[in-house]
Homo-oligomer: A and B are copies of this chain.
Amino acid sequence: MKKHNFYAGPSILPKYAIEKSAEAVLNFSGSGLSILEISHRSKEFQAVMDEAQALFKELLEIPAGYEVLFLGGGASTQFYSVPMNLMKKKAAYLKTGNWANRAIAEAKLLGETDVVASSEDKNFTYVPKGYKVPTDADYFHITTNNTIYGTEIKEDLNVGIPMVADMSSDIFSRPVDVSKYAVIYGGAQKNLAPAGLTFIVVNPELLGKTDRSMPIMVDYRTHISKGSMYNTPPVLQVFTALMTMQWLKDLGGVPAIMERNIEKSDLLYNEIERNKLFVGTVAKEDRSRMNVCFVISDEYKDLDADFLALATQKGIVGIKGHRSVGGFRASLYNALPLESVQLLIETMQEFEASH
């Protein structure tokens, strides 16, 4: 039975990227070797790294001067790397959920960390607004998409100081004005590649301003000076990322995928509003296009397991909500086809008809 992959992450990747990766695992670029066992210094892989950096810049329209790094590890490594690289004295953070919390916790160990606003009062079901960002902070950190709670900052903010954004779960889902950011980083395992890769977009002009001693390996300048190959990068992940970006470019790039993402998420949010069995959990204006969170409405509670069973029967995978929210979460990343959303909606309608 065909499976419909709604996992929050690691999550669905384009069929093209998966098939090309499977081919490369058996024979990479005609080398006669697997991508799993080829040197990162081989000319075949150097070409992949170069193309991946160039295409990343092209797709996100990154201004000249910015650098793109592909490193091992995940966003969690960046939670401390960002303040180590950028925090001179003070940084400002927006507290919008679990991942923001982790970033804040790491920053607090390194310097003054001003949490300018939080949505914890309502279990992170909205994005705070109307706060002031201190102009003497070295950067303002945001988590643009909150996978667990299903909120998203869908437009670039204007805060007067350079921003740092964890875009782990919505990179390439919409155009971004990169010039507003000192750093954009993320784990790649949502819209880009398998788990194990971190992307970092960085404005080098803002580096080297702290008087902090930091590990050589954590200093972004180390990696910039070596073309993202100071140490061995996760070779397969960089390759899959390149395949995903080729797929994205072929279908029209970031503006085109944004339209598809709006269409997919509108369809599902509209069904949640219409269907008497379900109710959304997030403030309407802050709803994520990537992770749609909903629960069974009060009159029909205790039906969670039944709906999950029906969805599973249909080949729908990964819609169980995070334990801190409950209910359901349908992740609609770039690679998720419209037909999967349609199937989920039909399943919700079938479930409604039988109750």
| Chain A interface residues (CB < 8 Å from chain B) | 1-3, 5, 7-13, 17-19, 21-22, 25-26, 31-40, 42, 71-77, 79-80, 102, 105-106, 109, 187, 189, 193-198, 213-218, 230-237, 240, 315, 317-318
Q: Is the CB of A9 within 8 A of B232?
A: yes
Contact A10-B39, Cβ < 8 Å, known A33-B3, A109-B215: yes
Task: Answer whether A36 and B7 are a contact pair too, CB < 8 Å, given A80-B218, A194-B234, A237-B196.
Answer: no
B196 A231 Cβ-Cβ under 8 A: no
- The closest CB in chain B to the CB of A84 belongs to B215
Q: Is the CB of B18 within 8 A of A3?
A: no
Verify A230–B11 contact, CB threshold 8 A. no
Contacts of A21 in B (CB 8 A): 25, 36
Is the pair B36, A18 in contact by a Cβ cutoff of 8 Å? yes
Most buried by B among A32, A76, A187, A195: A195
User: Given that A34-B13, A37-B13, A80-B217 are known contacts, is A74 also in contact with B232, CB under 8 Å in the complex?
Assistant: yes
17 extra A-B contacts, CB within 8 A, seeds A12-B37, A80-B217, A195-B235? A13-B37, A18-B34, A32-B317, A35-B194, A36-B193, A36-B194, A36-B240, A40-B195, A72-B195, A73-B73, A76-B217, A76-B230, A79-B215, A80-B218, A105-B216, A196-B196, A196-B235
A40 and B34 alpha carbons, distance in the complex (Å): 24
CA distance A71 to B195 in the complex (A): 11
Which chain B positions have C-beta within 8 A of A105? Answer: 216
Are the C-beta atoms of B25 and A37 separated by less than 8 Å? no
B-side contacts of A197, CB under 8 Å: 196
* Chain B residues closer than 8 Å to A40, beta-carbon distance: 10, 195
In the complex, which residues of chain B have a beta carbon less than 8 angstroms from the beta carbon of A18? 25-26, 34, 36-37
- Min Cβ gap A133→B in Å is 24
Instruction: Return A34 CB to nearest CB of chain B, in Å.
Output: 5
Q: A195-B232, A234-B195 are in contact. Are A106 and B10 (CB under 8 A)?
A: no
Residue of B nearest to A76 (CB): B231
The chain B residue with its CB closest to the CB of A23 is B22
Inter-chain contact B3/A31, CB cutoff 8 Å: yes
CB distance from A6 to the nearest CB of B (A): 10
Taking each of A35, A37, A235, which has the highest tally of chain B beta carbons within 10 Å of its own beta carbon?
A37
Known interface pairs A1-B32, A25-B22, A72-B72. Does A79 touch B217 (Cβ–Cβ under 8 Å)? yes
A298 to chain B, nearest CB (A): 28
Tell me how far the C-beta of A233 lies from the nearest C-beta in chain B, rounded to whole angstroms.
7
- Scoring A18, A77, A232 by chain B CB atoms within 10 A of each residue's CB, the highest score goes to A232
Inter-chain contacts of A215 with B (CB < 8 A):
79-80, 106, 109
Residue from B1, B11, B315 within 8 A of A39 (CB atoms): B11
With A76-B217, A77-B73, A236-B194 in contact, do A7 and B39 touch (Cβ < 8 Å)? yes
Q: Which residues of B lie under 8 Å from residue A11 when comparing CB positions?
A: 37, 39
Distance A268 CA – B64 CA, assembled complex (angstroms)? 51
Contact B37–A7 (Cβ < 8 Å): yes
Residues in B neighbouring A318, C-beta threshold 8 A: 39, 42
Selected A-B contacts with CB under 8 Å, 9 pairs: A5-B37, A7-B37, A7-B38, A11-B37, A21-B25, A35-B194, A74-B231, A74-B232, A77-B217
